[in-house]
Chain A
Amino acid sequence: MMNNPLYQKNIISIADLSRNELELILQTAHSLKQSPQPELLKNKVIASCFFEASTRTRLSFETAVQRLGGSVIGFDSGGNTSLAQKGETLADSVKVISSYADAFFMRHPQEGAARLATEFSQIPVINGGDGSNQHPTQTLLDLFTIYETQDTIDNLNIAFVGDLKYGRTVHSLAQALSLFNCNFYFIAPDALAMPDYILEELDNKNISYSLHQSIEEVVDSLDILYMTRVQKERFDETEYQHMKSAFLLDAQILNNVRANLKILHPLPRVDEIHKNVDSTPYAYYFQQAENGVYARQALLALLLTNQFQTKL
């Protein structure tokens, strides 16, 4: 039987994945969510190395491993380990750890760390976040959630709200979605607008997008509303108070939305989604977080086994 195209591959950047590979990951996540396979990774040891702490991602990833029957080794917050204290290079740490395990999941505060790790690792590397650069497993769970709730990723109306300038997750998701045929709505204060290099990439792919000053303007046309937080520290107090309401979500503007609308957020949410939204049928951010387990399971299944093939 032929290997699936992701077998033993590294997952470092969303830009490395083709549309077919993305679809394979989503189908596999769907399959594992419907039909769990608690022995798929029996006898596999997976390294979970957080050189920078992130409890949410770590818990999600480690659950993914354990629910497939694998075991986890690793650490949370590399600052406490002798790796950091004795001044070992990342290259050396990766060489050693990769000799113990079957796959290597890592988060690191510096950009390029995961890419570097692939040069010194004898096992597949999965990037759990490298500084301000990539966080591909977040994008995969976002895509899976969109696919799960809309039955498709093509021809959707998707709004991105909040901090579009510094938001790693929105850049990555917009890039991944540009492989499909969606319409984007960017809703952000001018100072936090989607950067030009992303808009150029979208122009080059003939993806349509529009810029807006409030959620209310477009909410009735949306299939997906992806919320992110505007950090008030980035603005002076009066400026922030004046504009924030346009970018905060309250249930009262949801009276005429589409029945299939789903509201997503990478979490943690602070005040940008009011609690009154949680009980509407549109809130889906906690289910989205749960999907992190299935998206990460899908990656592990494809990288380490040959049981899942393209179904097209």
Chain B
Amino acid sequence: MQMLQKKLQVEAIQHGSVIDHIPAQQGVKILNFFKFTQTNEKVTIGLNLRTHNGKEKDLIKVENTFISDAQANQLALFAPNATINQIKDFKVVKKFQVQLPDSFIDVFSCPNSNCITHNEPVATRFYVRKGLHLKLKCHYCEKSFSRSFFKELD
């Protein structure tokens, strides 16, 4: 496995998930996004790690936690090229690249404080407008927001 061929910058885990190829500066956002700072499981984090092509990346490893495809795709908002490795007995059993979904349902609260969704029994829904300037458009209030407005799971 690629991860064990060279000296690891971050210790290997036995069972759990590794989120790799997070752009530098986004690792902490992703920690907060998944509330990994609030778990009792072992979390190892590498920030600004040097990659083999000279760029920097962040990395997160969480023991005994398996990130679903849907959750992985949500983090594509912050880390479009991230990969998820699922580890069992120190071996990578599944590896996949995240893909930005077409919509986010029941994930974020609307940055528009006057949006009806704040006090009503509905799941929020945002449509993803991909492209140079990624935007999320609220299904209800129809306003569009850049990703910097979305910090964490509702």
Interface residues of A (CB under 8 A from B): 13, 15, 89-91, 108-113, 115-116, 119, 130-134, 197
Contacts and interface: CB of A to CB of B under 8 A. Distances in A.
Contact of A111 (B119, B122, B143): B143
Interface in B110-145: 112, 114-117, 119-122, 138-144
B21 to A, nearest CB: 31
B142 A108 contact: no
Contact of B141 (A15, A109, A131): A131
Give the contact-size bracket for chain B: 10 to 19
B116 A116 contact: yes
Contacts of B117: 112, 116
Contacts of A113: 116
Given A90-B116, A131-B114, A112 B121 contact: no
Contacts of B140: 111-112, 115-116
Contacts of A115: 116, 139-140
A202 to B, nearest CB: 16
A197 B131 CA distance: 14
A48 B139 CA distance: 24
A15 B144 CA distance: 14
The 4 closest A-B pairs by CB, nearest first: A112-B140, A111-B141, A112-B116, A112-B141
A197 B141 contact: no
14 contacts: A13-B142, A89-B119, A89-B121, A90-B116, A90-B120, A110-B116, A111-B140, A111-B143, A112-B115, A112-B142, A116-B116, A116-B122, A133-B142, A197-B144
A108 to B, nearest CB: 7
A111 B142 contact: yes
B19 to A, nearest CB: 33
Interface of B: 112, 114-117, 119-122, 138-144
Contacts of A15: 142
Nearest to A115: B140
Contacts, number: 52
A26 B142 CA distance: 25
Contacts of A197: 144
A197 B145 CA distance: 11
Nearest to B133: A200
B120 A111 contact: no
A37 to B, nearest CB: 34
Nearest to B141: A111
Contacts of B143: 111, 133
Contacts of B139: 112, 115
Contacts of A109: 114
B121 A91 contact: yes
Instruction: Pick from A108, A116, A119 the residue with the most CB of B within 10 Å.
Output: A116
A109 B119 CA distance: 13
A116 B139 CA distance: 9
Nearest to A197: B144
Instruction: Pick from B122, B138, B140, B144 the residue with the most CB of A within 10 Å.
Output: B140
A112 B139 CA distance: 8
A108 B116 contact: yes
Nearest to B140: A112
A113 to B, nearest CB: 5
